[in-house]
Amino acid sequence: MSDGAVLHVKGRVLAGPDDVRDELWVVGGRISYDRPAGARDVRTVTGWALPGLVDAHCHVGLDAHGPVDAGTAEKQALTDRDAGTLLIRDAGSPSDTRWIDDRDDLPKIIRAGRHIARTRRYIRNYAWEVEPEDLVAYVRQEARRGDGWVKLVGDWIDRDLGDLAPCWPREAVEAAIAEAHRLGARVTAHCFAENSLRDLVEAGIDCIEHATGLTEDLIPLFARRGVAIVPTLVNIATFPRLADGGEEKFPRWSAHMRRLHERRYDTVRAAYDAGIPVFVGTDAGGSLAHGLVAGEVAELVTAGLPPADALAATTWAARRWLGRPGLEEGAPADLVVYEADPRADVRVLAAPRRVVLNGRVVE
């Protein structure tokens, strides 16, 4: 498409869960529901259109060993884009990916800065590793570097205990979260186990990643506080393999990881039933490949979410939660077109017919 071209999307435009339209127009990279006067250079795309998908837990610029070069980060972002993911909440990366903001052919990224972890209590080369007395200072630093989010590592294996354990004392996370909020940033935390969650939620945290440790007594607390979860079920699927690898050295940890995996679907369904906000995230960029957003939506359906709500968790609801527009009048034209209605079968998301980013059809 040339800069002066007009894109006409017709068929079914899913502008919201209850807002279905017959067509939209893209003029100057923006969405319009009014046919532009005198439009001549028009390209038409037909199908079922959705807002660009959201991966709310993704790591561009990171692989299993730490930061990657710009070429690798570009490939990661392109893989996500081609899978229909046009908005990413980057939940922690040691790489500087600000250059992506200058590329109109790459997904938009909302950054959480770099992970902040306890010393020797996370994956090597990923995080700032600090002690509790320095937590507030590093939260302040990452709140200023990020795009409105900060990422803590809430729990990890304690080698002396041989099991998952909280990383921070209650008073440290209270002060850190208060400082982030003072600076206008929201806070999320990596948490696998049960025993870090109450302190984090009562300290005012905004979101929990993975949340496999949610239990019956904690779910009402999350619901009352409106704390969101991003379950990353495609990542939780790796727990049995991780447990097998740690069996000899950390048998207690391995058994715990297997239990968390076995109840993963029940945990997510119980959270959803209680009214806890649930959003789609893949955890791509560590040991997982990029482009897995459709698989994560399917996993939420397997866990018991109605297909329409699993779809909302990567489209309308996710964009509203992150403060970014969907298919509203005048919004940037970031959308994905499919052959069939994804509300009827979310597996349709695995095969985008067309991806439109910043008003341009991705070829």
Burial of residue 161, with CB atoms counted within 10 A of its CB: 0-12 exposed, 13-18 middle, 19 or more buried: exposed
* 206-234 confidence digits (pLDDT tens): 999 999 999 999 999 999 999 999 999 99
Mean pLDDT (whole number) for 56-85: 97
Rounded CA separation 112/109 (Å): 10
| Residue 62 CA: distances (Å) to CA of 96, 119, 152, 282, 284 | 10, 20, 16, 14, 9
Q: CA triplet 313, 315, 320: central angle to 5 degrees?
A: 85
Whether 2 has a pLDDT exceeding 60, the answer reads no
Rounded CA separation 244/276 (Å): 32
Check residue 4 and give its pLDDT: 58
What structural domains does the chain harbor? 6-50+326-361 (2.30.40.10), 53-322 (3.20.20.140)
Token pair belonging to 78:
């392109």
* 94-119 confidence digits (pLDDT tens): 999 999 999 999 999 999 999 999 99
* 341-361 confidence digits (pLDDT tens): 999 999 999 999 999 999 999
Burial of residue 282, with CB atoms counted within 10 A of its CB: 0-12 exposed, 13-18 middle, 19 or more buried: buried
Mean pLDDT of the chain: 96
Rounded CA separation 258/277 (Å): 25
Check residue 5 and give its pLDDT: 82
Whether 41 has a pLDDT exceeding 90, the answer reads no
Mean pLDDT (whole number) for 324-345: 97
- In this structure, the chain runs to a length of 363
Check residue 192 and give its pLDDT: 98
Confidence of residue 267 (pLDDT cuts 50, 70, 90): very high
Residue 4 phi, psi dihedral angles, 5° rounding: -95, 0
Give Cα 324 distance to the centre of its chain.
13
Contact between 140 and 129 under an 8 Å Cβ cutoff? The reply is no
Token pair belonging to 214:
């949610």
Alpha helices (runs of H) in the chain, residue ranges in sequence order: 70-82, 135-145, 170-182, 197-202, 219-225, 233-236, 239-246, 251-262, 264-273, 293-303, 307-312, 316-322
Check residue 39 and give its pLDDT: 75
Closest C-alpha among 81, 113, 57 to residue 236: 57
* 122-162 confidence digits (pLDDT tens): 999 999 999 999 999 999 999 999 999 999 999 999 999 99
Rounded CA separation 288/57 (Å): 12
Contact between 229 and 252 under an 8 Å Cβ cutoff? The reply is no
* 292-327 confidence digits (pLDDT tens): 999 999 999 999 999 999 999 999 999 999 999 999
Token pair belonging to 45:
């795309």
Whether 34 has a pLDDT exceeding 60, the answer reads yes
3-class SS at 229?
strand
Burial of residue 216, with CB atoms counted within 10 A of its CB: 0-12 exposed, 13-18 middle, 19 or more buried: exposed
Confidence of residue 37 (pLDDT cuts 50, 70, 90): confident
Buried b (16+ CB within 10 A) or exposed e, 221-247: bbeeeebbbbbbbbbbebbeeebeeee
**Confidence (pTM):** 0.97
